[in-house]
Amino acid sequence: MSLDTLRAKAKIWSSRFIPPQHCIPLSNEAYREIRFFRHPDVRVLDGVIHHKVKIENGVIVLMCCDGDRFLAGLLSIAGLFATKHRWSTRVASWMKRTSLLFIWAFVFIYPRMHVISRHAGAHRVVKGSRTNAPGRATDKDLLDDIMMAIERMGIYQIVLLDHCACLKLGDHNFTVNEQFHDLFEARDRIVAEYAKVRSEKAVRLAADGDLHAATTLPNLQVICMCQVDYGKKTWWQRRKLRTYHLDGARLIEVDITRHKPAHNPKIARAISDYLEAA
């Protein structure tokens, strides 16, 4: 039996147990941009800050339905349960955050997660987004879905889980920088829509005479996160997926510094390093 035949047989045999993996690597440009946003002086992409997501209150997750990354994305949110306490974070990092811990989180402390998934996730909410076919009400329909989820589930926390590289966004030629700005635009639209729904509800409750309920309607918290798939170099290596918090205030800081380098010299240096390396 030749080596090629053996290899072909081994492939067929292993395909029974190992699902096919499609690991599309980040483009060099996207990788460079991500590295810039992760730079210690820039920190638009920062480590996951556990206290920002009060996962015990339940969470609505708006994410892309990319089949090669969906489970990893979902587990990274569910995994916030497992790594909620300092000791468990230590164990998780010791175990390299293996899926075992995440499965434990799923099975024993079943997180209240309400998932809304569409290609490119939150980007579809942006008004006039080029990810939506013109003349359709995709953004409005999705906004209605989100408002319904808040109302019916009573969950007032949304995680916009973005990911890099997203095939849908790639099809529409988004750069990483554009992608992040677009995500915050989506966040602002969701916040504005909820404010409208909330004040309408308050007026209705007040008209019915329930002033206490009208004045204590909960606020909505929208958290932006991004999962980066760094891929793997060889087939036996573990695929490197990292989840980050996206900091909108830092992104504005970077934008101002792009026009006025004196605004933040540290960021200005990181920008010039980034441009030089091009």
Considering the complex, what minimum distance in angstroms separates the CB of residue 230 from Zn ion?
16
Q: What angle do CA 38, 42, 46 make, to 5 degrees?
A: 45
Considering the complex, what minimum distance in angstroms separates the CB of residue 70 from Zn ion?
9
C-alpha to C-alpha distance for 232 and 80, rounded to whole angstroms: 24
What residues make contact with Zn ion under the rule CB under 5 A? Answer: 64, 66, 166
Instruction: Tell me whether residue 90 or residue 239 sits nearer to Zn ion (CB atom).
Output: 239
Q: Which of 69, 50, 62, 42 is nearest to 177 (CA)?
A: 42
Instruction: Tell me whether residue 68 or residue 255 sits nearer to Zn ion (CB atom).
Output: 68
Instruction: Tell me whether residue 76 or residue 257 sits nearer to Zn ion (CB atom).
Output: 76
Please name every residue paired with 245 in a beta bridge, in sequence order, or none if there are none. Answer: 46, 225
Instruction: Tell me whether residue 97 or residue 124 sits nearer to Zn ion (CB atom).
Output: 124
Instruction: Tell me whether residue 155 or residue 226 sits nearer to Zn ion (CB atom).
Output: 226
In one-letter notation, the amino acid at residue 216 is T
Considering the complex, what minimum distance in angstroms separates the CB of residue 68 from Zn ion?
9
Please name every residue paired with 244 in a beta bridge, in sequence order, or none if there are none. Answer: 226
Considering the complex, what minimum distance in angstroms separates the CB of residue 210 from Zn ion?
42
Considering the complex, what minimum distance in angstroms separates the CB of residue 186 from Zn ion?
14
Contact 63, 120 (CB under 8 A): no
